[in-house]
Amino acid sequence: MRNRFRMSLVLVFLTAACGRGSAPPSPTAPIPPTPPPPSPTASLAPPTPTPAATPILPSPTPPAAFQPRVEVVATGLEVPWALAFAPDGRIFFTERPGRIRVIEGGRLRPEPVATLPVAATGEGGLMGLALDPNFAQNGYLYVMYTYRSGNALRNRISRLTLRGQTAGEEVVLIENIPGASIHDGGRLAFGPDGKLYATTGDAAQRDLAQRLDSLAGKILRLNPDGSVPADNPFPGSYVYSYGHRNPQGLAWHPTTGQLYSTEHGPSGEMGLCCRDELNLIRPGANYGWPVVTAAPGDPRFVDPILHSGDATWAPAGMDFVTGERLAPWRGHLFFGALRGQHLHHVVLGSDGRTVVFHKELFRGEFGRIREVKMGPDGALYFTTSNRDGRGQPRPGDDRILRIVPGP
């Protein structure tokens, strides 16, 4: 029987009506060239795969007795997709229709700091958000969003500069990433190496995930100025790992620095279903889509360390708990589940590969959970996504919430 969590009815931040403004027009920028297809040696010699994984049954009790509570941070939002915390305590977040908004001093500003000309079609729109490691000095925000190019949908990664209450001066870093109304990936995050990482979906063209001359179905790694890092696994290419269907979460282990990603499994393609994944990411590795799913132990590919089997999670944002405020969970991994409508709690072994415990929290209590982010105040934040066309909105949706110690 799952733990019951008491929800604080006190609104930590007040919500105002969604304002709309306009951002300066996007300058044109050439896309850096994608590499040619790899040689057979490069494509058939990936890193040694992890041992085959099978769905791991949750332990009957958590590894540490802990009864947190959930507080409401903001309500009345429209598909809050990503969260980013500024050094001064401000909370920036994206709403999929195209707005970047901010909570400051405990209040949600009524006007967005930017409204971008996105194509909010299906799963597309304004998605990822990351603040520059030197944000306090340069005011740089990085976004990933869907746009129209003729009759086609594409995704791009851009940098904005915050000046006062407005973010603009868009600089396009990468564009023409294949897009669609489904499978756009969209997560952005800075790694401990100072590089910007991005997830891209297969844009409903599954064969693109295996092509190194396409940016679809990949995890990308770039310098903050948009150039290709010299130490990327494929020279001259943004591609960091490939063979992904629709990865939507990125997080680094706070001690080891290992990179993890969540990924949506098939939902009917080739007659297959479910098999959502938690992956340990290696540079240059091939994660198998669409050739394999789940954990077949095929030596050409890297298996997930955890997958959902015949269940569907639709995993999204993820993060590790750090600090003392949620000390019983310190070092544990949490990711949101959209279709699964829960927060997934994962405990890893010392090798960073073995899942020793996992459990569903809050199943059905908040609906679809998308972003999960550790806050500088020691609380674990998450967002609902019940107004994305696939959920059942409840009073106050969509919301930003946070987990703090109880009672």
Domain of residue 104, residue span:
6-23+55-363+380-405
Residue 208 lies in a domain: yes
Domain membership flag for residue 283: yes
Q: Does the pLDDT at position 44 exceed 70?
A: no
Tens of pLDDT along 333-371? 999 999 999 999 999 999 999 999 999 999 999 999 999
Residue 43: pLDDT over 80: no
Which has more confidence, 302 or 22? 302
Is 183 among the catalytic positions? yes
Q: What is the pLDDT of residue 54?
A: 42
Tokens 């394999």 label which residue? Answer: 292
Is residue 34 in some structural domain? no
Position 375 in a domain: no
pLDDT in tens, 255-300: 999 999 999 999 999 999 999 999 999 999 999 999 999 999 999 9
pLDDT exceeds cutoff 50 at 153 = yes
Domain of residue 124, CATH code:
2.120.10.30
- Cα-Cα end-to-end distance for the chain: 19
**62 pLDDT tier (thresholds 50, 70, 90):** low
Sorting pLDDT into bands at 50, 70 and 90, what band is 6? Answer: very low
Q: Is 328 helix (H, G, I), strand (E, B) or coil?
A: helix
Pairing status of strand 355-361 against strand 342-348: antiparallel
Does residue 257 sit within a domain?
A: yes
In a domain, 324, yes or no: yes
CA distance 142 to 127: 11
Model confidence pTM above 0.75? yes
- pLDDT exceeds 50 at position 15: no
Tokens 């550790």 map to which residue?
374
pLDDT given at position 66: 81
Number of compact structural domains in the chain: 1
Q: Is residue 41 part of a domain?
A: no
Mean pLDDT computed over every residue of the chain: 88
Give residues with Cβ within 8 angstroms of 243, minimum separation 6. Answer: 209, 210, 217, 285, 286, 287, 288, 289, 291, 301
Percent of the chain whose predicted confidence (pLDDT) is above 70: 84
Contact, 262 vs 319, CB < 8 A? no
Please indicate, yes or no, if residue 150 is contained in any of the structural domains: yes
What's the pLDDT at 31? 36
pLDDT, average across residues 64-71 = 85
What average pLDDT score do residues 294-314 get? 97
Task: From 381, 389, 373, 377, select the one nearest 187 (Cα to Cα).
Answer: 373
Q: How much is the average pLDDT of 118-123?
A: 96
Model confidence at 17: pLDDT above 70: no
Q: How confident is the model at residue 49 (pLDDT cuts 50, 70, 90)?
A: very low
pLDDT for residue 25: 36
pLDDT value of residue 157: 98
Burial of 69 (0-12, 13-18, 19+ CB in 10 A): middle
Torsion of CA 359, 363, 365, 366, to 10 degrees: 90
Rounded CA gap, 314 and 325, in Å? 29
Mean pLDDT of 48-67: 49
Q: Which of 277, 318, 284, 317 is nearest to 301 (CA)?
A: 284
pLDDT at 60 exceeding the cut of 60: no
Exposure on the CB side of residue 201, measured as CA atoms within 13 A:
31
Those residues with Cβ within 8 angstroms of residue 66's Cβ, 6 or more apart along the chain or in another chain: 326, 328, 329
pLDDT at 34 over 90: no
Indicate which residue of 183, 264, 332, 342 is catalytic. 183
